[in-house]
Chains A and B, each alone.
Chain A
Amino acid sequence: GAVVSQHPSWVICKSGTSVKIECRSLDFQATTMFWYRQFPKQSLMLMATSNEGSKATYEQGVEKDKFLINHASLTLSTLTVTSAHPEDSSFYICSAITGKGNEQYFGPGTRLTVT
């Protein structure tokens, strides 16, 4: 149980375009989801905390107008990278909390490459 999926698993886009990444909890309801960014050979950096039905809470230094997060249902959160640039190329990982205990379940990640 407690499976989190992400779609797409990898995406290549041109500079200036927008990309949407989906994070779904497949077999549980997730009131809270987290979005992380990971650069090569580095740790995960928390970008934002997403709560169903409310605005996301962004970490300091993360541009909320560039990284749009929507948590419209208890099983889906989306991250939209707007007007992507090559420096936005990274591995984006989402996680979700089941509400039972405090374990985070991580998605498999999305590799974004902006050309």
Chain B
Amino acid sequence: AQSVTQLGSHVSVSEGALVLLRCNYSSSVPPYLFWYVQYPNQGLQLLLKYTSAATLVKGINGFEAEFKKSETSFHLTKPSAHMSDAAEYFCAVSEGTGNQFYFGTGTSLTVIP
């Protein structure tokens, strides 16, 4: 069975500070991992994904995530927060092509000016 745990339902950072959103997964097979961002009343936008290639994945808007198998983690980071980064972030895991996604409960990011 697969599952995703996002530690911290709410994270607040100051503008310009480091953003760190945590995601831990469990999977019986090598996972595919994703981070999505959702703005109010909108669908999900893919930030980045890990599909068994490079463990450090760079995404859009300056975000990146590192797959650490030993820690079963896929934390999302951004060196310097921007006001426009305020949104809901979801981590997801799947087993592969065509398989369903399992989403974490989401982390709401607030950026303080």
Main SS of chain B's interface residues? loop
A44 to B41, CA, bound (A): 13
Closest to B49 in A: A103
* A→B interface (CB under 8 Å): 4, 6, 31-32, 34, 41-44, 46, 49, 91, 93, 95, 97, 99, 101-109, 111
Rounded to whole Å, the gap between the CB of A112 and the closest CB of chain B is 12
- Asked if B94 is an interface residue, CB under 8 A from chain A, the answer is yes
A93 to B96, CA, bound (A): 21
**Residue in A101, A102, A105, A109 whose CB lies within 8 Å of B42:** A109
Query: Given the complex, which residues of A lie within 8 Å of B100, measured CB to CB?
Result: 34, 46, 49
**Residue in B44, B97, B99, B108 whose CB lies within 8 Å of A93:** B44
Closest to A108 in B: B43
Query: Given the complex, which residues of B lie within 8 Å of A32, measured CB to CB?
Result: 98
A101 to B46, CA, bound (A): 14
A102-B98, A107-B43 known; 18 new pairs, CB 8 Å cut-off, are A41-B108, A43-B103, A43-B106, A44-B90, A46-B100, A46-B101, A49-B100, A91-B41, A93-B44, A95-B101, A99-B97, A102-B94, A102-B96, A104-B101, A105-B46, A106-B36, A108-B43, A111-B41
